Structure 1
């Protein structure tokens, strides 16, 4: 009996590890393997065949010596795979999709921030748009407010998070951490675990980046004004500028779990507000507004459900269109009836 137990003690972990390596490697080859489909699927088949041979050999109580060729090949394949995987590095030089084709460039001189490649597209459909890239200057002493914008595209738990900054002259600028897709590439949450795409920071006009979600993609979009002192707002804006400059110097991969539209914002805010607690709602980004509310960073004078109801913008956004195009009054229209939190004392 003890011999059986000892046999299982080393076989079970090895079986689990082999299963995990087989599945993970097959997915990695699927998302980052050779572009030629036939070659990619041939490599996946060979990888899985070596994995199956290893599973069979380990599972057999007395496997013939000839069967151990399979595990040997699998171990060799793992070593080759590890070298290939380490060689996959993020890049700025790929055939990017039009809406993420340009990298945001930022320069800051005191309180004056100059942003190059601010996106201001006019969207008629996902594939039909007028492309405009602009250079804009902002005075941080005129920064007045920030809004959390949450766009639901896959159920209540998953949403895209954006932050919109408002200035005294009425201008709004939105920052959005996004997947930098190549031409023809579709976003895959699973692919985000396997270095499928780089990460990009987009700075855009609300008539572009918010309207395309509410009016064109039919996502469910909510806006929540944030209760933050002006100095912290400026620090958050500067943090986005730092992020843009870092990405310009060193490209990074998007990661569905660790480096996405919510976790990066959390990392930036944590530098401004030390001790900011971690919460599962940072991973289930659809519940992020509820987390922000619990921190007291939204208008807590009324229940969260009321903020959510009044923050839903789709009907107002669609009604604001003029002949199928974005209205100059888009930003004002989507904020109609949205409660604004009280400013901190002395701000």
Structure 2
């Protein structure tokens, strides 16, 4: 009995390691293997053979040759897979989907920021659109608002988050961290754990990037005014510009868990608000408004449920299509019932006086 227990002490953990490693390898080969499905299945089969030999070696008596040979063969296969995995690097040079085909480029001259490749598509459906990329200038001294846009596309826990900045001239600019898909590629939350897609920062007109979700895709979209001082708004805007510089110089992979539309914004805000607490709602991004509300950064004169009701923009966004194709009209329409959470103090950027 004692011998059996001692045997299980090393066999069970080793079998679990082999099972987890082989499962990871199957997914890695499926999502990043050859484009041909037949070749991918062949490589997956070749990968599973040493895994099977390792499991047999773990299960049989220690005197059998496969007791050592099986795990050793699998160990060699793991080394080969690891070498292949490290050859997979992000790139800017692929056949990109049209809506993520260009990289944002920013130049600065004091308060004036010039942005190249601002997206301003006219969307009719997901696949039917007029592509427009524009160069725009913004005066950061005229920043007036920052709004959180949350678009639910897969249940209450999963949402895409965007940040919209408003200027004194009535214009709004939205930043969105997105999956940079290749032409014809479909997003896979599981595949994004396995270097399936690069990451891109999109700067877009509100009527493009918000309307495509509410009107063309039929997602449920909410808008919340965020309480930030003008200094913090500017810092957040500049953090997005720094992110665009970094991505332009060094491509990165999108990761469903560690490098996505919410965690990257958290990393940027953390530079502005030191000590910002980590929370599970940063991963379950559909609950991000709850997190921001608990921090006091939304309008807490209203219950969160009331902010959600007032911030649900879909009906107003769809109705705005009947009023023409004005960006200003769209931005005004989606904010009609949204309570402001802006910091109203005249000296909001100065520390409070004793």
Separation (CA, whole Å) in 1 of partners of 2:229 and 2:293: 16
| Residue equivalent to 2:3 | 3
CA RMSD of aligned residues (A): 1.4
After TM superposition, the score normalised by the length of structure 2 is 0.95
Matched residue SS, 1:14: helix
**CA-CA distance at 1:322 after TM superposition:** 3.4
- Which range moved further: 133-142 or 101-110? 101-110
- Determine if contact 2:145/2:166 at 8 Å carries over to the other structure: yes
Deviations 1:173-229 (A, max 9, x none): 000000000011100000111000000000000110000000011100000000000
| Residue equivalent to 2:32 | 32
Gaps of 5+ in 1: none
| Residue equivalent to 2:259 | 259
Matched residue SS, 2:254: coil
Separation (CA, whole Å) in 2 of partners of 1:121 and 1:13: 54
**CA-CA distance at 1:8 after TM superposition:** 0.8
Separation (CA, whole Å) in 1 of partners of 2:190 and 2:264: 19
Separation (CA, whole Å) in 2 of partners of 1:7 and 1:323: 75
- Determine if contact 1:149/1:223 at 8 Å carries over to the other structure: yes
Deviations 1:228-277 (A, max 9, x none): 00000000000000000000000000010000000000000000010100
Counterparts of residues 102-141 of structure 1 (less than 5 Å): 102-141=102-141
CA separation of 1:166 and 1:324: change in aligned 2, threshold 3 A:
closer
Counterparts of residues 1-347 of structure 1 (less than 5 Å): 1-62=1-62, 64-66=64-66, 68-322=68-322, 328-345=328-345, 346-347=347-348
- Determine if contact 2:61/2:67 at 8 Å carries over to the other structure: no
**CA-CA distance at 1:3 after TM superposition:** 1.4
After TM superposition, the score normalised by the length of structure 1 is 0.97
Gaps of 5+ in 2: 349-354
- Determine if contact 1:123/1:325 at 8 Å carries over to the other structure: no
- Determine if contact 1:320/1:327 at 8 Å carries over to the other structure: no
* Paired positions, count: 347
**CA-CA distance at 1:124 after TM superposition:** 0.6
Separation (CA, whole Å) in 2 of partners of 1:180 and 1:249: 16
